[in-house]
Each structure stands twice: as structure tokens, then as C-alpha cells.
Structure 1
Amino acid sequence: MRRESPRRFATLYHAIPLIAALLAAHPAQAADTAKASKFYEDALRRYERKDMAGAVVQLKNALQVDRTILQVHVLLGKALLAQGDLAAAEVELVESLRLGVDRAEIAVNLATTLSAQGKQLQIFGDPRLAPEGLPVNVQLPLLLVRASAYADVGDTRNALRSIEQARAIDPRDASSWITEVPVRIKARQFTEAMVAADRALQLAPTNGDAHYQKGTVFHVMGQVRPALASYDQALKLDAGHIEARLSHAGVLMDLGRIADVEADLKELDSLAPDEPRASYLKALIAEQKGDKAAAKTFLKAITELLDPVPIEFLRYRTQAMLLNGMAHYGLNEVEKAKPFLEFAAKQQPNSPLIKLLAQIALREPNVPRAVELLEGYLKINSGDGQALLMLASAHLNQGRHSRATALMQEALNAKDAPQFRTALGLSLMQGGQSLNAITELEKAFKTDPNQVFAGLALVNLYMRSNQGPKALKVADALVKAKPNNASALIVQGMARLAARDFNGAKASYEQAAKLDPKMVEPRLGLARVDITSKAFDAAHKKLTALLKEYPRLVDALLEMAALEDARGKTDEVPKWLNSAVDAASQREVRPNFALVAWHLRSGDGASALQAAKQLLAKLPEDVEALQAYAAAQLATNDPLGARTTLTTASRRAGYEPVTLVSIADAQLRANDLPGAAYSLEKALGAQPDDLPAMSLMTVVELRQGDSTKAEKRARQIIASHPKLAIGHALLADTAVVRGQTQAAVEALRRAHELDKTTASFLRLFGLLVTQDDSKPAFALADGWIRAHPSDVVAIKAVADSQARAGNFAAARRGYESVVKQRPDDVEALNNLANVLMRQGDPGALALADRALALAPRQTSLIDTAGWANHLAGKRDRALQLLRDARLRDPNNPEIRYHLAAVLAQAGRKAEAKDEVEAALRLANASRQSFESANQAKELAATLK
């Protein structure tokens, strides 16, 4: 049950020696916690005073004590960003996300950091930086960061769209108009840029940045004197505005006022002593004065400043790219100039800079490159005589992919030959049409058992579709026909292993290894046997030996990941999977699929999405790859994107029911009812009596509001499968939708009779317990638990219901029963701890800490432990934990109240006021109360 109503109940099992041991170990941990907390609180005060250097030192001191404190990483990321240490800031902000911070806390800072490093595309593709779902006070600045990033990549349309979205949140905020000016300038929409600048000044007449932006519009339009006046005004309002000072100096340079330029440069030396644009102005002045040595020195200063910066950081900073390129070119360092000039040219694709690059290419000589550059340039600047004189010719041609399936069908029309059917089957299999592939391969293998490829593919397809006996039969036939074929023995070993015939599998693999000692597959197979039979050390030894010989062997890397997973070393699994992805060829996709599946299983949607993008880049038309990508989209709260992806998958899936049902199930999770119906109609068109398709279509019809169709289909399932519970369960769903509670109960009782499982019990119990008279529900539960005393899932569900009903004594007995059977059940431990807190039992603290030790990133457990520490008088530890929980789930009013209560006790009343008011606002916005709402109101009243 959920933590908020009432508190998420966990448990206390009376194991006095264990609790004593936990408490005995606590003082050292408490000392470390107190030390780290003191560092953090001091850093927070320094950060508030804008002493970033001091804050960074203290935060790093805190991490020396404990690297898992979430709020330390968040504040360190912000302080490093303020210092301009971008890469380090990104590391800390991403680490805070990995540790579980809610994205709203760091989205703007992370987007700003990425933008400054030239990672604009990452901003758009990272679901953690999507504005949707964030509070409006975070959405507005994030949308403006995104707008600037869109402008950097030349996407004016989306840049302006982001600005309009930000403006809709707060039309009186001048920042949206200020942001719009450079976007319009990059699009050469100078009239619109001037309108935006004027509007910004109407809203914020004393904003120095607004005056600076108006100056930039005048400047690009060639109106140097109005530009100079705007820059003057900006500097009067903000003498430290570096961009205004540089632009001011640039205009003065154009006007030939060298003495005034030098005055500006003197100011810049104090404001930004390492500013490369100032060095370029100094080089120009030196050149005008005939001092070539000084000019060279200043140009060298530019390259020394910009060369160490990763070029990716500068990719959308055209001025910096061009500056460094021109500095190298001026120093006659052509090879060093090229990458910078090329990057700058990408941002200015039709500028004369292209001709400079072409000239460099011709000097190398690299004629094809020069031709490519010039042809593109001449499409826009067709009358440029200089470019025409430089032009050269030659282009590369690309081929097309063959249509294997169509060719094989054509061949079969001419002659029905087993080898043609094998080729067709393999082609169909590669195209994701497994059922049709099996049909063709079965025909080929039946006609000619010597069609080894057909047999090998059949075994693979049978195993993928859970037809183990058929796979083993074909494998045995292959070995009988080809007893000395190592490949046949290998697939026989696979089939035997799937049937858990460990000795048989081992014999097949060993025989294959004897036939061909150089093959790695038998050695991999033997390692798989060890993993499946839990001989982990033996498996590790075999795989380590393989990887020593073949460090980039994808199968060995994948098996190592499987081994670490089986051993419970989950932190090692993604390392091995990523190594497999890196080692894989463009056509090898198993590591990509495995990596997506792992991240989804681990709950890391953002990483799953990145892995799925890599997969889809390899297989853009593949149905399974599209499904994997859609699953990652759903895991990152992008149902609209998932719908589009799944629609494409459904269209490409052919008429295979298994695949279509899988797609429809995902479409349901994406709330795409028409899409799911379309997929299931295709499946039922191919196989009208397919039970999974019929069952899922019933669910779709119910969700579409057509209970008549749903009931009819449910009764059809009952008639065709009278011994299965699924039809009665679906009939119950129909009755619930219609409000026919008694009919639903009867249908669920019948389903439970046919299928006496925990799942059927929980469905029946769950419906009964919602009735006014809950006695039948608990009577059912008593009988089930007496008959199934080890069914911890059922016991927890019943205990949750008892806790919600306020029967804490009964709930406690239930949770204690679970903890006795499963000492490491974190949900039961947490719920029991909450029950004990309700009962005033001090044993709650030990249980809460025990649960947290088992799942240190689960927000509800962190909150429980924080509050238990607070109630136990351990304020420093409580404050650390509740700050952590609040960063992970800032929209949870209960957590924010808990933090407010502890902050108030610690004397940080301003911060406590912010937190408790946020808790009450969140509750009002959702129109839902929370457990401690009354206490929160009382606390707020004391902090007025």
C-alpha cells in the first residue's frame, strides 16, 4: 500500500538480538552523518553568500565522508556551474539523478551545463530535460534554455515555439523577450528581433541585458551609433556585463576609436582576463600599429586559451570557433585551423568561409573535398566567380539493398526447391515474420534433412517461441543426419540446456569441441551450462579464459553479464553489456537488445532510451527494435512517442498473432486504444481463436466503453475454454465496469475455483474489501492464509488493508509474519516500521534503517527512516535523509512537511517556512489531503 494514506506501513519483527546489533553499530555511522551534515550546512551558507569556491571545498569534504548524500551532489553541481567548471558540474548533476534526485531539482542547471558544452542535441533527446510534467517555475527557464539550444542548431521554429510556451506561463516576464532577440538575429529576422528587444525594455526598462540585446540588433543591421548608445546604457546599468563591454569595444573598433577601444580592453582585463575575443581585438590593434610580433603573441594567446577546450564544447559557439580558426590561420597553422573553421562553417553554411575551407582543401591537395564544399556553396551563391574558378568535380555513388524475400518468392514460382525455401525462410526470419519463416523452413527440412541451415534456424525459432520439444526433436534429427557436424551438436546442446538436461547439454558441447577445438561456441555453451546449474565459479573461469584470448568476443561478454546477474552482482551487468555493445559490429544487435532490456528491468528509463536509440539506428525497420524503443519511451513518460513507434511496428509486423498481441499490450500501456484494437484485429484475422488476442481484445473493448462486445467475447472464451479462469475474470471486469458488484464477485469466485492462485485470491479479496461490509473479505483472507501460510504476497496485501482500516495490531502481526519468513523484504520492513511509529514503539528506528540499508535509493524508505530518526531525537541524520527524500520526490507534501518540521527544530525557519508552504500548496493543487496536513498547517502558523 502507498505511503501517503496512511503512512507506508513497514514492519518490526521482534528480534531483540538483531536490533541490539544494529544499534551497536549505529554510533560510528551517526558520527559520520553528523560530520557530513555539518560540511553540507556550512557549504549551503557559503553558497547563499555566493562564496562558490568555499562551498565547493566544503561539499567535497562532505563527499569524502559519504559519497551517497544526494543533496551534496546537487549543490556541488550548482556551485561548479556557477564557477564555470562545466564538465565537473555535469558529472555531479548526473550523479544526483543516478542517486535518485527528482529531475525538477536540476533540470535547468543540467540543461545550461549541457548547452555550454555544445551538447544541445542531448538536451532535446534527454527525457529528464523534457519540460512536460515539471512545475511551471521550472518549465519557464528550462524552455528558454531549450529555445537557445534550438537556435544554436538552426531550428528557429522550435526555438520560437519554446519561447511562446515560456511566455504563456508568465507573459510579464521579460526573459522570454530577451531570449527571443538572438534567436531572431540568427534567423536574420531583424524586424522581429527589434520588436522583441523593445518589448523586453517595456517590461524591464532597467534590465542591462535587455539594453544589450537591443544593441545587438542595431549592430547586425549596421547601425553602429544606435548600437553604441544601447551598449552604453547596458554598461551604465551593469558595468560588469562582459558581452556588452566586448560589443562596445567592437563598435569603437569599427569607428576607428582605438584609444576608447583600449579603455574598454583595460576594463575587460579586470572583468575577464582570459577573454579570447579581447585578445583578438588586441591583435587587430597591434596589426594596425605594425607590431607583427605583438599581433602574433595575442593570436597565440587565443589558441592557447581555446585549443584545450574540447571542440564539442564550442560546436555551437560559432564566434569562438571562427576566432580560434582565424587565429591559427593567421599563425599559418593551417591543419590546426581546419577543424575550427569547418565547425564554424556548419553554423554558417552559405558564408564566404566555405571558400576559405575550399582553398585549404586545394592546397592539401584534397580535390574531392574542395568540390563538395564549392558545389554546396554555389547552389546558393551561383554568381560567385571566385568559387567557380576553384570548382572541381567527382561524386560517390551509393547502391541499394536487395529485396531478398521478393527474389526468393520469384525463384520458388519457377522451381520448388528446398534450398529456395531455406533461403526464403531465412529471409522471412530476418524480416521478423517468424510464423511464415517456420512454415517455409519446416517444408525445406522435411523435404531435405540435409538442409542444415533450415534445421539450425528452426531450432532457434522453436526455442524463441517456447516450443522446446520441437526444438529438441529437430536438433536430434540434425545430429542424426550430420553426426560430425559441430554446429548441429551445438544447437542440440542449446535445446538440451533449455530442457534443463544439464548432463546432455554438456555432452553435446564437449563433443562439438572435440570435433572443432578452435570453435568458441562449445566453450560458451559449457559456460552457459555452468551458469544455469549455478556453478558460478566454474562459469567465471571459463569465460575469463575466453576473454583473455578474445577480448572483444561479444558472446563471451554477454555471458559474463548473465553470470554477474545470476550471482546478484547487478552493478557489474551494465558494464559487461556496454562492453558487448562497443565490441559488436553494425549488424550485431543482441547486445543492444540486452542493454535496453537491462535498463528497463532496472528502472533506468533514460539509459534504456539511449540504448534503444542505438539499437534503432542499427535496425530502423525491425519490429522487435521498434518495440524495444517504444518500451523505453514509455519508461521515460513519452506515451505519445511510444504510440507513433508502436503504430509503425504494428504495420510492419505482418499477421503474426504473438507479435501483434505483444504490440497491442504495449499500445494499451501507451493508452492507444485504437492502435491496440487495430493490432488485435490483424491478429484475430489471421487466427480467430487465438486466446491471448481474444482476451486482450476484451480488455480493449471494455476500455473503449463497449461492455456489450466485451461481455460477448468473454462468454465466447468461457465457452471455448471452460476449464480456464481467464473468461470468468474478464466477465468480472465487465460487471465491475457496469457497477454490477455482486455479479463481479460471483465471476471472480468462479475464476478462483478454477485457478486457485495468489493472483485470483487477490482479485477477489480486493473487490470484497471495498464493500461496506468487509467481513467476507477478511474471512476469505483468513482461510487463504491458513491454507497458504507462506504466501507473503497475500499476507502483505491483507496487512496493507488492515493498516488502512486502522487495525494496526492485526497489520503488525501480518508484517511480522512476512519478516519472519523473508527478513530482507524491504516493503514489509518499511510498513512494519510505520506501524510501530503509529504505536509509539521505539523499535521502528532499527527496522526503518534496516529497510533503508537494503534499498538505499527508495524514496519512501528514506522518508520513513528520516522521520523515525527525527522521532528518536537524531536530528542530523533526520535532516540528511529528509533533504535526500525531498530532492527525489519534491511533489510529495508529506516528505516536505517532514523536512519542514526538522528544519524548524534546527532553527532554519526561513527554509522550513518554504517547505511547509510548498507542502500545503501541493496538497491544494492536487485537491488531496495528506496524512500530516493538520500538523503542517499548525507548523505554518508558527512560522508566519
Structure 2
Amino acid sequence: MKNHRPARYTVAILLAAALLAGCAENPETLVNSAKSYLAKNEPKAAVIQLRNALQQEPDYAEARYLLGITLLGQRDWVTAEKELRRAHELGFSEEQVLPPLARAMVRLGKGRDLVNEYGTRQLRDPAAQARFKTAIGDAWLQQANLDEADRAYAEALQAQPGYGAAVAGQARVLMARGDVEAAEQRIQATLEREPDNVDVLMLKAELLAAQDRHAEAEQLYARVVALEPDNQEARRAQIAVLISDKRYPRAAELIEAAQKEGGHDPQLEYLKGLLALREGRYRDAIEHAEQVLRVAPEHVPSLLVAGSAHLQLGAYVRAEEALRKVVDRLPRHQGARQMLVNAQLRMGQADRALDTLEPLLYQAKDNPKVLALAGEAYLANNDIKRAGEYFERAARLDKNDPAVRARLGQVHFARGEEEEAIEALEEASAADQSDYRADLLLVLNYIRAQNYDKAAEALQTLEQKQPQNPLTHNLKGVLYVAQKKPEAGRASFEKALGFDPYYYPALLNLARLDIRDRKPAEARKRFEAPLAKKPGDEKLLLGYASILSATGADRAEVLRVIERAVEHNPASATAHVALINYYRRTEDRQGAIAAAHNALAKVPNSTAVLDAAGQALLAGGETQQAISTFQKLVNAAPGSPAGYLRLAQAYGVEKNADAALQALRKAVALRPDLEQAHNQIVGILLATNRAEEALAEARKLQKSQPDNGLGWALEGDVHNTQQKWADAERGYREALKRTPSSTAVFIKLHRVLDQSGQTAAGRTLADQWIKSHPNDLVARNYLAERELRSRDYAAAIAHYKVILSAEPHNAIALNNMAWAAAQQNDPKAVEYAQKAYDIAPTNPAIMDTLGTLLVDRGDVARGLPLLEQAVKLAPDAAAIRMNYAKALIKAGKGQAAKAELQNLVNHENAQVKSEAESLLKTL
């Protein structure tokens, strides 16, 4: 024991001496030592000296700066940012510290923070300004703000002409705008002057990789590495392109070699995650991505890897969280948006999926995969008509695989080519036993064509492929209801719920059957039980609200349910839009405005929220705020004309015709065939007494789109407003030659013939139209209403019968049918009115019809309360008040009738006033 003690003392003395020796070096000496190590390219030794200096003097600004740029060179972005920020806080020169700090923030995916904190700074030193503004441009590019990125790169080049990184940045902007040719020209021109410009070589490699020329790209990255052996960015890019080229073993070799070099590198961790994802090792991919996200929560590539892997593993909530962040930061990223839509569909969030999908329908309107995805989203949302439309468009663009053949079958059905449709869909069904889309389309089209036997056969095949899918049994229920077998339909809907008790379409269909059977309490219970277990489920809450509204629930009760949906789902655009729209439907402008402001605060980037909120603000008189909101809608969906159409609407309210026209012309630039915009342009020109300009606009459209009847229809509109009936008729007839199925043009032509006194020609036109378009329900509805006004009740009834055979739950058609039948003394009039009331029990016009017919039949006890309620719901409707007064007279309530009639005596309508005076004389 004694022999060892002196040795221990010796060690202690030596350690103390070493510590004292370290302390003998002051911070300045240590920093100078670090500088000499950096000059000799020994960064690890420099880091040790700098940390020793900071241990003695934590506020040594230059040491913080040197440590930051050294760690930046070692790709330790997180610690580099921390040290550089601290150097900046300690007052170190912005000229020196801001360029590397900006670079670190960009590398960490903090582009948004960078531009918010430092975006407006200007540096005096040209080289520093060039590097700094290039990083600012990169930050804007991360956010897909191409204009600001281009502006920042231009500032960098103004400070230092020919600066390679800025030239590369401008080329990236050109690529993002789709002008690849211009980008290539700029890259080539720079390389001819500077063949070893590393930044531009890197961009050229990136462009080659984007064109799937992976081998050439990899060679260029290798050349950069040969020029700059320490260029870790080129090494990482080389790994990435090897992964894209599916050369996984070689990529793994380079990753392993890079790991041996040491240093904490989030980018390398991301590449390991990407490689794991491509090799199908999804859990490993998530683990690597999460390691990056712990230090850089906004690193978009890692979020994308995590979201993709979670989606593959069926962890849809986690996938949605990650992919939503990607889409919020990169709204134009089509792949991320498609995956997000898929995640939302698998979570049963069809409404959210549609909202997410909307920008894609403009960005990638010719992409059959996107169009098919839209079809799936509308199908999941129970909108069979819109689903069919998108499948048809997809079929026109892709005719190879079984799924596309299935969509092609939908196109044939739409054209009435039933044999070709069946052949295409049956081929698709037989070609892939796992894909049931063709079977779905067969069922949907047979139901739409009312060929129920064939639909049942197709459903048998679908059930063989998808026996436990609630969608199968829900469709079977829809078929039974269409066949007027409601009890069988009810059983199928119940079976769908057996597989998924929260399957929304089946719940909704069952509730609708309950309402039809006059069982409003049962309809409500359908949703109450699932909501007890899922109290915050957005779809269930909004479905419940719709059923409450349909069954005449108190407005406050409906509002409470929608507000619950918003409270439980504060980030849901669908819930906020539902609340805004309900306030608008119930004419509560202040409520709609408050809901709009709340929605904009909670979900500021949703196109659906921006649209609904803007409309609420506009209707509430907050025009300037509405314009600002619609401008944000334009920015959120730059490829969509919807924002410009809304802007035009708002400028119209402001009576700013020129601004409205400018917005509409931008919409037309995006969609040259957009009828709504062309119609509004001509409408504004006519409203502002610029008929010659309107006519020129119409004729310009005739030249640019000679096969489109719209230009001629617009010319007809111009002549129509000037009461030049012959010219208007000629324009509309020319339009019909080019678009022979345009109901809108038919109606315009029919009205012109009527206004010009050509009654017989109008009748001939109507007969010809109905003969060639027997299922045109819009035209039939227009003609039926005209027949009602002309008191040709038999003709009106004939049209309504056809409408109701196709749309048996059309409450307005049933209501009008009831009125026309009553004028014909048809005893079924009350039955039609009752059906209309069962479907829409809160519609005052329908309550008025049923109430009046019941009173006329002598059933005052049932009819009078309906009329009283109708008056409360529509107090300004003179016709309803008149019918109520007549009913009061029949009920022997003369004083109450007298009070109603005295209010009507002062009405501005002479006919109402005269009838009220006549009735008062009888009391």
C-alpha cells in the first residue's frame, strides 16, 4: 500500500501542473493558436482551443464566431447556428457573422425564420453581401416564393457579378418556373467562362438528376469532389443520386465512408433514412428521420421521409402530421400533397382530402394519377357525380394499365357507349383481381343509368373482391334504395356499419331513410351513439349537424354541434368552413365574420378557409379585408383561377370595374376556357356602358377558340342587352352549332325568341331540344317554370314528372308539382306537397304550399300552423303572408287576418296591395 501512495501523489502533481499550464495560456493566446490550426487545415484541434478559450471567457465574441464557422465547415449546423447567433448577440461584426449564420439556418431548414429575422439587412462588403443575399434567396426558395428568391439572387449578383452560388440560385428559380431551357442556357454560359465553378457544376448535376440522368449527375458530383475533396455537400449529393438510381450498395458504401470521417451530420442521417425508405426498411427510415428532426424540426426532406414511411406502415395520423408540415412549407410539392391526400382518405377524412387536393387539380391538371385520386376523394365523400367526372378525365390521359381501363369504361358510359364501357370495365376487372376500381365504376354507372339488374351483377363481383369493405355494402344499400327497396337498403347500410360502426356514408344514408320515414328522432340517434364514443370526430359532428338541421332542430342546437367540431378540430379547414357557411345560411353576418376571423387565425393557409372567410367578410361589408383575404387565396393557390374570380367579385362590390377586369383577365390567363371569367368580363363591360369593348372581347374569343361556342354566345349577350333581337338570335344559334349540348345557350335563345314575339319559334325550339335532350333536367326545370307562369299546368306537370323520375328527392320540383297538380284539381297534390315537406321541413316556400293546400282541402288544423311558421321564417314574403291571411279567414280568426292584411295594404307590389284591400272589405 505504501509503495503506491507516492505514485498517486505524482499523478496528482502532474495533473495539477497540466491544468496550471493550460490556465497559463490566456483566451487570446488560445484563439491565436486556433487560428494557426485553421490555417493548417486542422479544424478539430482548432475547436479544442476555441472551447478552452470560451471556458475562460464565455463572452469572447471572436472565439464564438470562429467556433461557429469551424463547426459550419464540419457540417454541425445546429451548434454552428448557436455559436454564430451568440457571436452576433455579443456584437461581432455583422459583415462577418451574418453570411455563415444565414447559411447554417438554411441548412437547418429555417428559411422562414431567416427571412423574418434578417431578410431586410444589407451588408457593405460586396463579398459578404453576395454570400448573405444568396442565402436569403435560398431561404425564399425553401418556401417556394420564387419572386423574392429571384430578387435576393439579383442583389447578390449586383454586389458581386458572376458569383457562382447566386447564378446557380437564379437558374434554380428558372427551373422551378418550368423554364428548364433558360436554366440550362445560363448554366452552360457560366461554365464556358468558368469550367471549374463548383456551384454551377453542382447545379448542372442537380438538373441532370431531375431529368433522371443519374449516371451523368453522379460523374459531375465526383468531379466536384475531385476539385474540392472537402466539399461534403457534393459527397452527400452523390449519395442521394446513387439512391435515386437504385444503386443502393454503392450508396451504403459512401455513407459508411462518410461516417468514418466523423462529425455530427444531420444531412448524412437524412440520407441513411432515405436509403432505408427506398429499401423498404420503414421503421429504420423513421428512426433516422426523427434523429434529424430532433435537432432540426423543420427539415423538410426528413419530414417527407418520415411521412412516407408512416404511410407505408399504416400510421396514418403520424403520416398526416409530417406530410402536412411539408405541404405547409412547400405548397407546390406535388408528391407530398398526393401522399397527404392518401393519408387523409385512409383516415376517413374525405373533406380534408378534397381541400388538400384542390391546388393539385390546377398544378397537375393533366396528371391521370392526380385526377384518379380526385375521383377516389369524391367517391369517399359520397359525391358519385363528381367522382365520375374525374375518372373520365383520367381515362382520357392514361389507357394502359387495368386501373386506367376501368376509368376508360367510365368515359364510354358518359358517352352513352354502353357496350364499349362494359367491355373496358370487365377487362379491367378480370385483369387485376386485387383492384376493385373497375367493379366500382360498373356499379356506379349502372345505378346512374338505372340498369339495376346489371348493377346487382357487378356488385356480386365487387363483394367477392371486397367482402368486408363497408363501401361495398353501402353501395348495395344505395342500389336497393334506388330500386325502391328501402328495407333491404337499410339492412345493407347496417351491415356496412357492422364492419365499421363509424362509416360515415352508411350512417348518413340510414339517417336519410329515417327522415323519409318521418322518424327524426331515430335519424338523430344514428349519430348520437357513435359520438358518445368519438365525441370529437369531425365528420360525425358535422354529419350530425346536417341531420339536426334537416329535421328542424333549433338553430342554437345546430350551432353548438358545429362549434364542437371546431373546438375538437381547431386545425381542420372543413370544420371552420362548415361554421362560417352555417352562419351565412342563417343570415347571421356578424357570426359569420367572427367565425371567419377565427378560422383565418387557426388555419391561415387553407384555400377552403380563405375562400369561405373572404366570402363571409364580403357579405358582412368588410370589403377591404375580403380583398386582402382573396389575395392570400391567390398566393396560396397560384395555379388556380378561383382566387382571381373571388377578387373580381370583391372589386365588383367596391365598384372598381378596372380592378375586377384585371383579376378576371388573370383568371383567363390561367384557364383560357374558363366560361365564368369570360362571361363576367363581358358582363362588366356591358354594365359600364362599354358595349363596343364587350363585342370586341367576344369576337377575340371567337378567333382564339373557333370551336368553342362561348364567343358567339357572348356576342349574343351583347346584342341582347341592346335589344337587337335578330343579332342576338344569330349569335346564340352560331353558339349552338359549336356547342350543341349547351343548356345555357338554349335557354338564352329561347328567351330571345320569346322577347321578340316569336312564340311559335320558341315552342318549336323547346320541343326539338327536349326531343334531342330528354334527360336535360335544367332545361326541363326552366320550361316547367315558364309553363307555370303561363298557367299551362299540364305541360308543367309533364316536365316535373321526368325531373322527379330522375331526382325523386328534389323538394323544389315536388313543391312545384304539387302546386300545378292542385290547379288541375289532382287529389295527389297534397301527397306531392307532403313529400316535399318531408325532405325540406324548414323551407318556408314548401311549408306555404303544403299549408295552403291543406287549408283549401278543409284541414285548417294542420295547414294553419304550417303557414304561421312559414311567415316566421320568411317575414318579408308577401305571397306567404297573403296565404296565411286567407287561412286565418277560413279559420274564423278575422281580427288576426285583418292585422296581416293591413300590413299588406302598404306593400309596394300593386297586385298584393289590391288583393289585400279586397279581402279587408269582406271582413
- Specify the TM-score bucket, using the shorter chain as the normaliser: 0.3 to 0.5
Which structure has the larger Rg?
2
Larger relative CO (CA 8 A, sep 6+): 1 or 2?
A: 1
With normalisation by structure 1, the TM-score equals 0.44
With normalisation by structure 2, the TM-score equals 0.45
